[in-house]
Amino acid sequence: MKKFLFVLSVILILILAFSTYMRLVYTKQASPEDEVKLINGDLKVSVFYNRPYKKGRVIFGELVPFDKPWRTGANEATVFECNKSLNFSGKDLKAGKYSLFTIPGEQVWTIILNSESGQWGIKFNGEISRDPAKDVVVIEVPSVLQEKEFEQFTISLEKVGEENEMILMWDKTLVSVPFSVK
């Protein structure tokens, strides 16, 4: 009986190790990590995310359904971090680290900054790892269809005049999220 329990334990450990490998290593090859930064004077903003590829797929409306929460990238939830308090369309965000989620729509996207960070982007049942009670900023911004196609999901942080923008680009969709220092 002891031998059976030992063998069973070894098998379970191997399965756990393999599943961890698949989750952390293999998926990172298909959607590599990236970090973008905006430094403007003493303002520092960064976004850490994983960048999936289009690979001939229809992205918005199919792979990423319209009107359903998305982890905004792949693998872990995307992390938005700032060292100063910011303002997004009249909504204040204190300096800190947040998870970035979105709800893509055909013409308007909902941008969500959630106070929980560091979690995997989705649960084993396929739902995103987000507690809506911890949403700090929820705003709507228009999306734009454009001619240029982005093969790999890309986030950019840009200074535009007196404001700043976080720009999300994938397939032929571009979403600009303006923000300013509070």
* Spatial CB neighbours of 95, under 8 Å, sequence gap ≥ 6: 82, 83, 84, 85
pLDDT tens by residue, the chain, 182 residues: 778 777 777 788 877 777 666 655 554 556 799 999 999 999 999 999 999 999 999 999 999 999 999 999 998 899 999 999 999 999 999 999 999 999 999 999 999 999 998 887 777 777 788 999 999 999 999 999 999 999 999 999 999 888 899 999 999 999 999 999 98
- pLDDT single digits (tens) 63-107: 999 999 999 999 889 999 999 999 999 999 999 999 999 999 999
The whole-angstrom separation of Cα 75 and Cα 49 is 8
Q: Which residue has the tokens 């909504």?
A: 91
pTM, entire model: 0.82
